[in-house]
Amino acid sequence: MKKGKKLYEGKAKIIYATNDKDLVIQYFKDDATAFNNQKKTTIEGKGVLNNRISEHILSNLGQIGIKNHLVKRLNMREQIIKLVEIIPIEFIVRNVASGSITKRLGIEDGTVLKEPLVEYCLKDDKLGDPLIAEEHIYAFDWATKKEIEKVKKMILRINDFMIGMFRGVGIKLIDFKLEFGRFKSNGKTEIILADEISPDTCRLWDSVTDKKLDKDRFRKDLGDLIPAYTEVAKRLGILHEQSNVSAVNVTKLSSIKKRK
Ligand code: TMP
Ligand code: ASP
């Protein structure tokens, strides 16, 4: 597989063309942004951990029949993925209230929701990814009703699976963000899960202590982001090192064999 030209650069990832028209390479950067790019820095090793964690979650989801863009991880920072046309909606799934919903609606942080709440945001950095109603999606043809019905069913299965997977390793899945895309192949179009699922795109709290193991460590200046992401990777069984992986040690991750 040959790596071609850069097709797109986002805040945390870069997409490169390949010599296969259906496939692209997704590169995980170390850049961290929050509050729509108002706050940014580089955290050495973050991209390596997100690449591994996202690979683990998406391949597990694939095994339970959730179609997604992951083909395979190539190396420390890159994976081969299917080229999709991204639906311009960020699907936010909340099990416990935290983050923007607490400020927007005055809900107390940590309030357990009766059932999962799905929110829609328009994926548009210039507008600050505004919250929208489902009706806006149809009014402006961002997706069809049929597509959204399919996405909603996938979201609930993904949420159930991820809650269980994290609960099994002592982590509460507070909320997360998903993106979906249209994959066109042999004249057919199907909706598949895309982007990444990692501590950058989820809120993950230790089940016992409520310690934050996600990007809130950066958003809230709590520090120790790499040890927190490493902890998530270790608990998921992706890393087998004894030591607390520091930013410098992350370079060693390349030599750690992938567990199947
Ligand atoms: P929020 O509380 O800021 O709305 O975020 C809800 C969840 O979605 C949280 O786990 C972080 C994730 N998220 C992203 O991954 N990307 C985004 O652009 C936003 C706004 C949230
Ligand atoms: N991902 C968004 C940003 O980079 C928002 C966030 O994750 O807080 O600004």
Would you state the pLDDT for residue 186?
86
**How large is the average pLDDT for residues 230-243?**
85
Is the distance from the beta carbon of residue 33 to the nearest atom of ligand 2 less than 6 Å? Answer: yes
Q: Which of 54, 113, 173, 175 to mutate to test the pocket of ligand 1 (most atoms within 8 A of CB)?
A: 175
Average pLDDT, the chain: 93
If you measure from the C-alpha of residue 180 to the centroid of ligand 1, how many angstroms do you get, rounded to a whole number? Answer: 15
Would you state the pLDDT for residue 1?
85
Q: Which of 34-48, 162-176, 198-212, 240-254 has the lowest mean pLDDT?
A: 240-254
Note the helical H segments in 17-85. 46-63
241: confidence class by pLDDT, cuts 50, 70, 90:
low
H or E element at residue 100 = helix 100-105
Would you state the pLDDT for residue 102?
98
Q: Start-end ranges of CATH 3.30.470.20 in the chain?
A: 85-206
CA-36 nearest atom, ligand 2: 9
Would you state the pLDDT for residue 85?
97
Tokens encoding 255: 């030599």
Give pTM, 2 decimals: 0.93
**How large is the average pLDDT for residues 57-63?**
98
Would you state the pLDDT for residue 243?
41
Is the distance from the beta carbon of residue 244 to the nearest atom of ligand 2 less than 6 Å? Answer: no
Q: Start-end ranges of CATH 3.30.200.20 in the chain?
A: 3-84+225-249
CA-CA distance, 115 to 242, in Å (whole number)? Answer: 37
CA-CA distance, 62 to 57, in Å (whole number)? Answer: 9
Is the distance from the beta carbon of residue 34 to the nearest atom of ligand 2 less than 6 Å? Answer: yes
CA-102 nearest atom, ligand 1: 2
Q: Does domain 3-84+225-249 have CATH number 3.40.50.2000?
A: no
**How large is the average pLDDT for residues 197-223?**
98
CA-99 nearest atom, ligand 2: 8
Please identify, in words, the CATH class of the domain defined by 85-206.
alpha beta
If you measure from the C-alpha of residue 257 to the centroid of ligand 1, how many angstroms do you get, rounded to a whole number? Answer: 31
Share of the chain above pLDDT 90, in %: 89
